[in-house]
Copies of this chain bind each other. A is one copy, B any other.
Amino acid sequence: MIKEKGLSYTQAREELIDLLLHASTPLSYDNIKNSLSMDKATFYRNTALFEAAEIISSFESNDKKRYYFIEQNLHPHFICTNCNSIECLKEDIIYALNGYKIESITIKGLCPRCQKNE
């Protein structure tokens, strides 16, 4: 995966791809910093590189943090504006936009739990 894109294969990169591949939702640096052996500068440099190589995608959440993910089937992510939780929405929307290339879709609002408790 890394080598396919002509990138050199390092421990840090393997570790990062591995974490994202096995994650069930998008992850921020903060989420995984304790599981990472690399420095945060390396984390961010590699996520930027992987995004440019179209290996991963990302979005900014409500909490000012960026979340990264690898996904085969393009599906939307839901961000709760109350509890900041992030969920994968299984309903594949899409949905082609003429002339645009779609990388990610994020829907913001209230999750079922937060909507009840308000």
- Interface-side segment among A24-32, A37-45, A110-118: A110-118
| Interface residue? A102 (CB, 8 A) | yes
Query: How distant is A7 from chain B, measured CB to nearest CB, in Å?
Result: 18
Among A51, A64, A107, A112, find the residue whose CB has the most chain B CB atoms closer than 10 A.
A107
Query: How distant is A53 from chain B, measured CB to nearest CB, in Å?
Result: 13
Among A76, A101, A104, A109, find the residue whose CB has the most chain B CB atoms closer than 10 A.
A101
- A103 surroundings in chain B (CB, below 8 A): 81, 108-110
Residue pair B104, A109 in contact (C-beta under 8 Å): yes
- A112 surroundings in chain B (CB, below 8 A): 99-100
Measured CB to CB, the residues of A under 8 A from B are: 51, 57, 59-62, 64, 76, 78, 81, 89, 91, 93, 95, 97, 99-112, 115
16 chain-A/chain-B pairs, Cβ below 8 angstroms: A59-B60, A59-B108, A60-B61, A64-B64, A78-B97, A81-B103, A91-B97, A99-B112, A100-B110, A100-B112, A100-B115, A103-B109, A104-B107, A104-B108, A104-B109, A105-B107
